[in-house]
A and B are shown apart, each in its own frame.
Chain A
Amino acid sequence: MTNDSRFGQQAAGRTQSRRGVLKMMGGTALGLGSLALRPRGARAATRNLRFWTSQTAPAQMAAWTEIFNAFQAEHPDVSVSVEKYSDDTLWQSLSAAYAADDTPDLVSYVQAYTVATLQSDGLVVPMDDVIKAVGEDDFFPAARDIYKQNGSYFAATLNNQTSSNLWYRTDLFEAAGLEPPRYWDELLAAAKKLTKGDIYGNTLPYGRTSMADTMMVMFVRQSGGHIVHPDLSVAFDSPETVAALEFLKEIYQYAPPGAASYSWGETVNAFITGRTACAPYTGRPIYLIHDKNPALEGKFHRVPYPHRRDGVAAYDSPFNSLFIPSKSHNVELAKQLAIWLFRKDNQIKVLHTAPGHNLPVLKSVATSKAFFDNPLIQAHKGDVEGMIETTSQSTNLVQEGPGFPYNLKAGSIINSHVLSETLQSVVVDGVSPKQAASQGADKIAKVMKD
């Protein structure tokens, strides 16, 4: 055998081997191709339910996993995947999902005004059977009826919270000889007195964000005004709105310098890091201070957010919803998952992941020993009970008060950021509160008309 022939044999062997590899690759490609072309049901034995949530802190993810694992154990052909969205970009994410016909099957923690707008466009599935299965009478009426229209429920409140709390530093207030404020003028005086050195007297979100938008609704209502009249004409251009803007402008000088871009994160961070004497927020400071800054433990409390002295005690809640997008491919299964989430044990698991932040909407949960059986909720029992009381009095822009019809444009108003833009025009651009209220009203009217 010559060298050449050996080389030829080796070369032939390599060629053969290369051919083998190519054949294998071709076979794999064909196999994958045929798999991709097979009908959906035939491709996978399990059906996947896509669950959207904004609550994905490690403890919350652990709770979702535990709850969904148990659901999957009862439904072996189903898998549940948790997908995160951000509160500030929810609307954009939803728009893209609907436009691409790629919606999740069950969405959680979306605020009432957004779901109302989706409902007005026929983009959600009725959930009457879910509410009935959970027990219609077990819901707190406000939490249940916020999603009731023409006798039918188009979503369900999974749990609730409110940012209409003023968290304040008891040590700083006591040292300054101040009582917790009940009215705006008292809050303003406290903010002025407590702004010293590294500490800012008060923090509020002035950014063009959802927090500032929802807080603006609260401020206008606390001033005695409304965003729309009961006939849904725009009520924003009013002396009450001007008074609210004047107050917000005045107290702005005692806020951190970057407050004009503050949203949820910045507002709560300013409080839990001890850089502000008071701030509005949900119940999150209870566990955030415990986890991140224990030095402040025992030095803070909450009161209902102060209101204008001749205004009204008005509070705002998001009514964290569960809804099923109309483009879901698994509606019945999504309803079963929704009912599963309302089981008492699952409710408490979720509520305990963020003690004090999320509050019960089922009476059976709110009065249960199991709900209060949590060290942080126990330690802040008064604050938690106070927040449950506040949420029971809360409303939302979708229905500003008794006698008001359902405002299906509430979501469009909030998501257009008209309200926070109005606030920013006063504190950043120096527009007068009167002119800003007038300009804001024109913009709201345009949104209502669109």
Chain B
Amino acid sequence: MRLKTSDSLIGVAFITPAATLFLLLVAYPLFQSILISFSAINTMTLKGHYVGLANYLDILQDQEFWRTLVNTLIWTAGSLVLQVLLGVGFALLLHRAFPGRALARSLVLFPYLLSTAVAVLVWRWLFNDLYGILNYGLVHIGLIERPIAWLSRMPEAMISVILVGAWKFFPFVVIALLARLQTIPLQLYEAARIDGASAVARFWDITLPQLSGVLAVVVLLRSIWDFKEFDLVYLMTGGGPGIGTQTLPILVYREAFPQLHLGKGAAIAVVMLLVMLVFMLLYLRQSARGDER
């Protein structure tokens, strides 16, 4: 069926605002970033010149970049695993009927709703070497003799950041899984019970397969978000000690601002984008599978 010219124009009119916004807010900055990544530009003066692939060659030969990439993967994987474990555990718990369930479901969202700056401030005080309640408690009950430098030594600093990241973001997993849990037909569990399936068997054979689709999407989304997480890690440790907890977004920031290497910062950001593109393709594939089902 051929569309009338007026229908086509209406179609164009409807799509124009979205397309314009996309071009202005996504395509143009992306194009600019890629363009800048081929230049040596001083962030203060914004003066510079074209250097071709020099920024990319520079970062690929830089040990700090590779160490930072490894840190980013450790942070992303560590935080993600804990978020999923906590998320699944809490979702299952909150799916059961118990007095105060509605309140518990609201409270579990608290870390996710809290501003990162505030959450980090609180955790930094908890971890503080001289006045932190964590060290105070551990010393008081005799588990340690001297306070632990939670944020100033490796691997303690990375472990602390991962723990706080998991605490902050696991409620997202809970929300997504809880919604899915409520749609699993109860008849499946009843049939399994009649067949003598244990609770563990019911979880592995019914719950987990039913959750797998949502879980895959959640894992991919959180991987992307954790991979580019800046504020939580930066505010917790500033990337230290040394570059022990420095992740790629922090490296981009350091190159672009303190070091004034805008081009090199942009090049690292483009490399990050390429890595995230892999996650994104997996996500799109998973979404397409979900649609087919």
Contacts and interface: CB of A to CB of B under 8 A. Distances in A.
Contacts of A415: 258-259
Contacts of B259: 412, 415-416, 450
B130 A261 contact: no
A121 B130 contact: no
B149 A258 contact: yes
Interface stretch (B22-30, B84-92, B234-242): B234-242
B43 A257 contact: no
Contacts of B80: none
B200 interface: no
Interface in B118-149: 128-131, 146-149
Most chain A beta-carbon neighbours within 10 Å: one of B44, B148, B244, B256: B44
B152 A260 contact: yes
A450 B261 CA distance: 9
A118 B45 CA distance: 10
Nearest to A269: B130
B266 to A, nearest CB: 13
A259 B152 contact: yes
A391 B40 CA distance: 39
A256 interface: yes
B240 A260 contact: yes
Most chain B beta-carbon neighbours within 10 Å: one of A91, A257, A269, A270: A257
B44 A257 contact: no
A208 B242 contact: yes
B257 interface: yes
Contact of B241 (A91, A122, A261, A273): A261
B152 A98 contact: no
11 contacts: A91-B258, A95-B257, A99-B46, A121-B42, A206-B152, A256-B129, A257-B129, A257-B149, A258-B152, A269-B130, A412-B259
Contact of B45 (A98, A259, A412): A98
Interface of B: 42-46, 128-131, 146-154, 237-244, 253, 256-261
Interface stretch (A2-10, A314-322, A353-361, A423-431): A423-431
A421 B254 CA distance: 14
Contact of A424 (B42, B149, B242, B257): B242
Nearest to A92: B257
Contacts of A92: 253, 257-258
B44 A94 contact: yes
A298 B258 CA distance: 41
A270 B113 CA distance: 33
B138 to A, nearest CB: 12
A301 interface: no
B250 to A, nearest CB: 11
Contact of B242 (A121, A209, A428): A428
Given A95-B260, A208-B239, A258 B45 contact: no
Contacts of A118: 44
A275 interface: yes
Contacts of A262: 152
Contact of A95 (B44, B147, B154, B237): B44
A424 B153 CA distance: 10
A207 interface: yes
A424 B241 contact: yes
A5 to B, nearest CB: 39
A241 B63 CA distance: 24
B241 A260 contact: yes
Nearest to B237: A261
A259 B243 CA distance: 16
A273 B149 CA distance: 18
Contact of B130 (A122, A275, A429): A275
A208 B238 CA distance: 8
Given A275-B130, A424-B240, A429-B242, A257 B258 contact: no
Contacts of B147: 256-258
Given A208-B238, A256-B130, A428-B153, A98 B257 contact: no
A376 interface: no
A98 B43 CA distance: 8
A123 B152 CA distance: 36
A370 interface: no
A99 B149 contact: no
A47 B247 CA distance: 43
Given A99-B43, A258-B151, A421-B242, 10 more contacts: A94-B44, A98-B46, A208-B239, A257-B153, A258-B149, A258-B152, A260-B241, A270-B130, A412-B260, A415-B258
B44 A260 contact: no
A306 B78 CA distance: 45
A261 B130 CA distance: 13
Contact of A416 (B128, B239, B242, B258): B258
Contacts of B261: 450
Contacts of B148: 257
A269 B42 CA distance: 37
A144 interface: no
A417 B152 contact: no
A74 to B, nearest CB: 34
Contacts of B257: 91-92, 95-96
A415 B255 CA distance: 11
A154 to B, nearest CB: 15
A94 B256 CA distance: 12
Contacts of B128: 258
Contacts of B45: 98, 121-123
A207 B258 contact: no
Nearest to B240: A208
Nearest to B132: A258
A428 B258 contact: no
Contacts of A275: 130
Contacts of B253: 92
A91 B261 CA distance: 13
A121 B128 CA distance: 40
B149 A260 contact: yes
Interface string A228-247: 00000000000000000000
Nearest to B47: A121
Interface in A401-450: 412, 415-417, 421, 424-425, 428-429, 450
B128 to A, nearest CB: 7
A375 B148 CA distance: 40
A208 B244 CA distance: 11
Contacts of B131: 273
B151 A261 contact: yes
B258 A121 contact: no
A121 B129 contact: no
Nearest to B148: A257
Contacts of B260: 95, 412
